[in-house]
Chains A and B, each alone.
Chain A
Amino acid sequence: GNSVTQMEGPVTLSEEAFLTINCTYTATGYPSLFWYVQYPGEGLQLLLKATKADDKGSNKGFEATYRKETTSFHLEKGSVQVSDSAVYFCALRPGSARQLTFGSGTQLTVLP
């Protein structure tokens, strides 16, 4: 089956620290991979995506590279801000499936 495994949170960092949130997946075929962010009290927003191996998705200083050999899509940011505090979800969409399969989410808190 299809599944996504994310590093467990919560993660607490100081402002300007380096962020890594690990994500690995299991899927049939060649899925598209996504990172979504959920700010408090809001719905999920697409942060970035990658649709094939070695693609790098990037947005708002966040990056993730689709690594087929390690079935990973780790999220990174070089210098986090307080406003990055949110829950981050890794997700995949395998082949022609319509729905996304989500990881369990990682709560990030950035302290000033």
Chain B
Amino acid sequence: DTAVSQTPKYLVTQMGNDKSIKCEQNLGHDTMYWYKQDSKKFLKIMFSYNNKELIINETVPNRFSPKSPDKAHLNLHINSLELGDSAVYFCASSRDRDRDNSPLHFGNGTRLTVT
């Protein structure tokens, strides 16, 4: 069974379009994250939700809007896509009550290509 699943795996779209990436976890975790991995493999936190509440919101353009309908889902909507948005986006989750040493569980990523 897939623990953290993202869809789609690949997303190719044109500049100016709006797109969404979905993420679901079946681990019963309280906290979910979105990370962006650039072409040099550098990973940067974008957002984090804990029990549907936004707790981390790094310096990310307003065009990016996360939504968490319940604690098992965290979706990412991107408006007016730009070339610089091309990257691999990873969803992750963790158990909150063992915060100090609870690892993050990652999805397999969504490769977004903006043309």
Which residues of A come within 8 Å of B, CB atoms? 32, 34, 36, 38, 41-46, 49, 51, 87, 89, 93, 95-102, 104-105, 107
B96 to chain A: which residues have CB within 8 Å? 98
Whether the Cβ atoms of B103 and A104 lie closer than 8 Å is no
Chain B residues in 8 Å Cβ range of A100 = 45, 104
Q: How many A-B residue pairs have CB under 8 A?
A: 62
In angstroms, how far is the closest chain B Cβ from the Cβ of A57? 10
Query: In the complex, what residues of B have CB within 8 A of residue A51's CB?
Result: 100-101
List, in ascending order, chain A residues with CB within 8 A of B4's CB: 43
A98 touches B41 (CB 8 A): no
In the assembly, what is the distance between CA of A44 and CA of B43, in Å?
A: 11
* 10 closest Cβ pairs, A-B complex: A43-B106, A105-B41, A51-B101, A46-B103, A102-B43, A44-B106, A43-B108, A32-B101, A99-B45, A43-B107
Apart from A46-B104, A105-B43, list 4 A-B contacts with CB within 8 A: A44-B43, A96-B100, A98-B50, A104-B40
- What 1/0 mask marks residues of chain B from 26 to 67 whose CB sits below 8 Å from any chain A CB? 000001010000001111110010100001100000000000
Chain B 70-103, CB within 8 Å of chain A: the 1/0 string? 0000000000000000000010101010011101
